[in-house]
Structure 1
């Protein structure tokens, strides 16, 4: 690698911040923000410096390892591929295709090469037992987008740079840099909002880092956001504040929504939510009367028992007040690689509930079952029991509820393989670990998060360091395994046509496909030329994909939305390489009705599955709260992202951030002391941790951060282990889900808290 400054996108969270990495004598000398990046404009958060820690980490695996009776042993790639393919094939042959489970972790969404290669791999495995981080995260948003707009990833994004009122419920973009809202430098954008006379309102059970910057903040009892939003809908109808223009001609079932809201006037929900009726009315009126306004909900509202209905109502509120598809409101992106359009062209808009999980009967979404039932499917005997498991860039033992039970399940598998470069709390159970190259050793294009960004941009980063001849990129690992599995399924030899297709796929690699996607996209080069590239260079690659795979829609892109004709042209991989800081494609633009994918071209305001759940919501109004009950919520810190950054010494240094946050009133009642230790219990699940007393918490609510718990034996992440913390998922039940979508309930589960006696010790791993 040559010395000098190299420009990249930081992949460590959704923000897509541009970084300038200075290299001297083959090593990283500094990392700073890229002032010329059109989205982040020089901003970076503290996580960016961890790029160096991750790249140089001596505990990062560089070669495949196999578990033996005496420890982990390095093996050669060919032996590793051969063993994994044969074990998975044998399991499938003996026990059926659904005897293999696959889990995809969050980092896959940040990795274009993994995204492109995962589908052929999943097709080769052939199992319906697929899981991912989706059902512990954004599933309610995907379901609402599918039900109301006709496509599972057509998310309305706050036009934060032009809004005058930003209402944030259950989100903390000061710590997350946005989530389903790619928004680097949220602090700077908030300052600009206030400078133009705007304001921010935050509703949350904790006075978060974001809430402390708000002009108006309201505590809300965890899990009751649906009551608040339904009462706001009620207010809009009662006060005749329904003004859905410009979407007015596109909506249907307005009366059904009005009828659903009738039992929920603000007075009926005030005690339940902890928010006064006058405040609820005022929130609805501010949203209605501010021309440029956006109401945004996120993790705190998604991962709760009413996560689906809450997300639906948030979408409805924006629509009813005319904030959808308007400047300063909630708008749709037009990314350079338009997976939404590509999927629609191939008939892949998303699907839900086409089958249900074997043990709990939970619905699938986009081919995946909820992660909360992984342990059930492994531990419960019978036809379809998972006996072999594959994890790809994931650590569900720390990120899914009831991690101890999942530990038990993974330890009893016949075989497990992980594509990961760390031996962590999940991969320690694997028989073989296949480590991919680190992020600075591979190219990068953000396919997913450009679909969620507050501004349309496009940027490609070339590999910064040579990974060396004895390494494999993740896409090479997945394609090699898929190729071998297909061969074994066909008796050891593939037809010549199929074999040529696999070889073409391996030679082309993900960047060739990215180039085709850019050229055939809304900002692409001449469509005729792009179509020629598609037909020649990638024809055999596309033949390997399933019949309805989204990428098969490429051939039809030239006939897409006429609005594309108005966009700037000439985008290609070559042009992005010539502009390493990225290319600005402009502010978000009105996109309806062309961006709708419902069958009748209408926005469905009252999907029947949500109306049915309103009955459950109404029943909960009369259920009294337990006077001594504490409700548990998670939280996030700007130096952390799930469980996968705690081996960076730069990010974990400083005071202990894995503490139990408790309101002073609750601490006094329970006899808890600042810095003392407390036992947090739910049924037979418990953790012991340090107490932090703060009036940032709502009375009756306690908080444990997400992603910690690095005290399990057998891991090889010494920095993380030295700052182990406690896993919130060792307390949370995996039996509690949102019955509509099957999303894990990670916020609002009841717990008991008491002083930890001196003789008590943490529960052993």
Structure 2
């Protein structure tokens, strides 16, 4: 008998509402939920194919142990947990807690269970070597928010549905459907912007899918975002276009910023970023003159050489024009499930400790992933000898992937919680496979907090959990208990949970979620007569609840005692000074070639290429090259060419396109699968190459140590010419020696 289950998609930040048709515990059809308050029936190709992941024959169903030969064999859950706990305890006992490192991948953002047990796992491991995908894409936003708003999770979003001028820099929301910006069906939202007389301007080195729909596309040199934003803000100051009332009302420290802006005149900045001074000034004037406007920056900016500064500069421009916290501007969601208070309890901050080898700072309790390989390879007290990965593939997602793979192969012990054997988990001694998320409740803790409307929902399971399966949080909970900890990271409370466990009482993440909801802005405060929410009430709204558009002001997210944005944090001002010094140098050479990444609508980072429907058709892992650059390199369309950087020399398939800025090439991230591997057969048939083979783990930005995945210096050559030069490669400064 067929039944329909309504549930939010868990594949990306858009969190689109889906309607699942289920027969005999199998998903037979997926369509968009027309009654979802955010997505209104929209669904992307990934959402339609979500059932294929559950049915994938390559997905692991039982724990696996790697044998001496390198092959994997199934073992029982009890044996897997016992081996894991024993080996991790032994490493900690002999070498100290920091000898174990934890890496968590992007999918944890879509698992409320992992998010709510994460602090418990960190405390149970006892290590400061915590890492995640955030240091590849979001740490600059976290750090800027921590300093400016007092809260790393105060994440402003563009009020896209009410703005009249949308300035989009280093982002491609038509493909991403928003990043740190939950806005399903962005293309329709941008179309409505233009229909109401608004204007869309995209600034990007590539004429992206979003740029094709824009009123204007402006090409910029990769890495020029921070200088551009500061030059626009300087123009507002110089031409007396800033909103001083808003600045004085909402912030402190503006004087220290303004005293530095003189170093960023459009005329000084223009030669360094490839955008003419008159265009910079015009953009600033348009931004200030529009009835409402917002500047949104994202992935391209967050992986650039000045990512934290550029993120801070985004806030500055929006503030200077009076758009921070204003309708149609740079606004804050009011999350129904607000995890920021819990974050404060467990510690929110930046640079409270540093990595052992290179001294890179932590952000939000995590050190950059770019240090993991060196922490494994470098002897001494605190050398990493054991690694725990959760839903991550850092061999493909972190810089200098080949070095990462070699380092993982040197560990004393590694355990991975993952659905698949992949380029990272192949090095694990134990793999603990979680049940696919369709078998449990889902709560949008993160997506709901950056949505373009104030919404809330809890989604029911779509499928029944099979006997012997454990969910991701159940696996982590068992690890916490076996390591002497518990789900909260609070010793007394965890001791109580361990005692309750012995009499059959279980901790569940929904208990914590209910607490967050009931004490949140829409909660019932545990008052029986209250009309506020609890989980039981929220479950009755099968399509979710809409509390209305974003509300103006900062008070609901800023946690500084004075309720204002603080612009005078020393690390951010130092970053301004550093960029000013760089601008004193000569502009970059016209002969340079820089590598940037790109997104694809049918891909989700590194882990959806084993779904046949999503990899069918033309080859997508190709290097986009402008015809002028191709002519200089003597390569043609569809040629197999050689791309070189400091860390790697490898072959790429060339695709000529005038959508690229001359001097810039683009390769999508997330590919580079093992072509002959049995563990993911479809992905192996569409292996591609990993863009992060060419990125450099030694090249990080100055504030948070964020990986620089854009503006990577490279050289492109025809394969035949590269082969003839092979004998000179040892002396080539672009070729890595480590």
- TM-score, normalization: structure 1? 0.91
Question: For residue 613 of structure 1, what is the aligned residue in structure 2?
Answer: 575
| More moved, 518-527 vs 462-471 | 518-527
SS at match of 1:211: helix
Distance 2:87 2:420 in 1: 22
1:595 partnered with 2:593 = no
Shift of 1:475: 1.1
Residues 612 and 334 (structure 1), Cα distance of their counterparts in 2 relative to 1, 3 Å cut: same
Shift of 1:714: 5.0
1:362 partnered with 2:360 = yes
Residues 400 and 758 (structure 1), Cα distance of their counterparts in 2 relative to 1, 3 Å cut: same
Question: For residue 515 of structure 2, what is the aligned residue in structure 1?
Answer: 516
Question: For residue 62 of structure 1, what is the aligned residue in structure 2?
Answer: 61
Question: For residue 111 of structure 1, what is the aligned residue in structure 2?
Answer: 111
Distance 2:245 2:672 in 1: 49
Question: For residue 403 of structure 1, what is the aligned residue in structure 2?
Answer: 401
Instruction: Verify the 8 A CA contact 1:424 1:715 in the aligned structure 2.
Output: no
Matches within 5 A, 1:619-698: 619-621=581-583, 622-698=585-661
Matches within 5 A, 1:676-755: 676-711=639-674, 716-755=679-718
Shift of 1:702: 0.4
Residues 459 and 593 (structure 1), Cα distance of their counterparts in 2 relative to 1, 3 Å cut: closer
Residues 60 and 739 (structure 1), Cα distance of their counterparts in 2 relative to 1, 3 Å cut: same
Shift of 1:505: 10
Question: For residue 377 of structure 1, what is the aligned residue in structure 2?
Answer: 375
SS at match of 2:543: coil
Distance 2:285 2:49 in 1: 44
Distance 1:168 1:61 in 2: 40
| More moved, 520-529 vs 642-651 | 520-529
Select which of 425, 443, 446 maps to 2:444: 446
Instruction: Verify the 8 A CA contact 1:483 1:502 in the aligned structure 2.
Output: no
Question: For residue 174 of structure 2, what is the aligned residue in structure 1?
Answer: 174
SS at match of 1:482: helix
Matches within 5 A, 1:462-473: 462-473=460-471
Shift of 1:112: 0.3
SS at match of 1:476: helix
Residues 134 and 683 (structure 1), Cα distance of their counterparts in 2 relative to 1, 3 Å cut: same
1:279 partnered with 2:288 = no
Residues 115 and 347 (structure 1), Cα distance of their counterparts in 2 relative to 1, 3 Å cut: closer
1:586 partnered with 2:586 = no
Distance 2:234 2:192 in 1: 33
Select which of 532, 538, 546 maps to 1:570: 532
Shift of 1:257: 1.3
Instruction: Verify the 8 A CA contact 1:425 1:712 in the aligned structure 2.
Output: no
Shift of 1:165: 0.6
Residues 279 and 369 (structure 1), Cα distance of their counterparts in 2 relative to 1, 3 Å cut: same
Question: For residue 490 of structure 2, what is the aligned residue in structure 1?
Answer: none
Residues 497 and 301 (structure 1), Cα distance of their counterparts in 2 relative to 1, 3 Å cut: closer
SS at match of 1:66: strand
Shift of 1:758: 9.3
Residues 375 and 505 (structure 1), Cα distance of their counterparts in 2 relative to 1, 3 Å cut: farther
SS at match of 1:263: helix
| More moved, 331-340 vs 688-697 | 331-340
Residues 230 and 377 (structure 1), Cα distance of their counterparts in 2 relative to 1, 3 Å cut: same
1:479 partnered with 2:442 = no
Distance 1:57 1:473 in 2: 17
Shift of 1:503: 5.3
Q: CA deviation digits over 1:113-139, x for unaligned, max 9?
A: 111122211111101111101110011
Q: CA deviation digits over 1:701-737, x for unaligned, max 9?
A: 0011010000266561111110001101111110000
Question: For residue 74 of structure 2, what is the aligned residue in structure 1?
Answer: 74
SS at match of 2:641: strand
Q: CA deviation digits over 1:183-204, x for unaligned, max 9?
A: 1000111111111111110000
Distance 2:671 2:27 in 1: 28
| More moved, 192-201 vs 624-633 | 624-633
Question: For residue 294 of structure 2, what is the aligned residue in structure 1?
Answer: 294
- Structure 2 residue runs without a partner (length 5+): 487-492, 727-734
Distance 1:483 1:376 in 2: 30
Q: Let me know the Cα RMSD of the aligned residues.
A: 2.1
SS at match of 1:23: strand
Question: For residue 241 of structure 1, what is the aligned residue in structure 2?
Answer: 241
Question: For residue 9 of structure 1, what is the aligned residue in structure 2?
Answer: 8
Distance 2:342 2:97 in 1: 29
SS at match of 1:354: strand
Instruction: Verify the 8 A CA contact 1:229 1:313 in the aligned structure 2.
Output: yes
| More moved, 388-397 vs 604-613 | 604-613
Distance 2:102 2:257 in 1: 39
Instruction: Verify the 8 A CA contact 2:2 2:21 in the aligned structure 1.
Output: yes
Question: For residue 729 of structure 2, what is the aligned residue in structure 1?
Answer: none
Question: For residue 562 of structure 1, what is the aligned residue in structure 2?
Answer: none
Distance 1:495 1:165 in 2: 50
Residues 487 and 615 (structure 1), Cα distance of their counterparts in 2 relative to 1, 3 Å cut: closer
Residues 238 and 82 (structure 1), Cα distance of their counterparts in 2 relative to 1, 3 Å cut: same
Aligned residues: 718
Question: For residue 24 of structure 1, what is the aligned residue in structure 2?
Answer: 23
Distance 1:743 1:706 in 2: 17
SS at match of 2:202: strand
SS at match of 2:243: coil
Distance 1:4 1:55 in 2: 18
| More moved, 696-705 vs 610-619 | 610-619
Distance 1:437 1:698 in 2: 44
Distance 1:323 1:188 in 2: 23
Residues 496 and 153 (structure 1), Cα distance of their counterparts in 2 relative to 1, 3 Å cut: closer
Distance 1:62 1:339 in 2: 32
Distance 2:503 2:295 in 1: 47
Instruction: Verify the 8 A CA contact 2:54 2:436 in the aligned structure 1.
Output: yes
Residues 463 and 744 (structure 1), Cα distance of their counterparts in 2 relative to 1, 3 Å cut: same
1:315 partnered with 2:322 = no
Instruction: Verify the 8 A CA contact 1:443 1:460 in the aligned structure 2.
Output: yes
Matches within 5 A, 1:150-549: 150-246=150-246, 248-344=248-344, 346=345, 348=347, 350-486=348-484, 497=496, 499-501=498-500, 507-529=506-528
Instruction: Verify the 8 A CA contact 1:19 1:44 in the aligned structure 2.
Output: yes
Shift of 1:618: 1.9
- TM-score, normalization: structure 2? 0.94
Residues 230 and 506 (structure 1), Cα distance of their counterparts in 2 relative to 1, 3 Å cut: farther
Shift of 1:497: 4.4
Distance 1:575 1:593 in 2: 27
Shift of 1:487: 7.5
Shift of 1:519: 2.0
Distance 1:496 1:685 in 2: 49
- Structure 1 residue runs without a partner (length 5+): 489-493, 531-567
SS at match of 2:313: helix
Shift of 1:585: 1.4
Distance 1:391 1:452 in 2: 26
Q: CA deviation digits over 1:478-533, x for unaligned, max 9?
A: 11111011179xxxxx9974632555896131122222222222111244359xxx
Distance 1:605 1:116 in 2: 31
SS at match of 1:486: coil
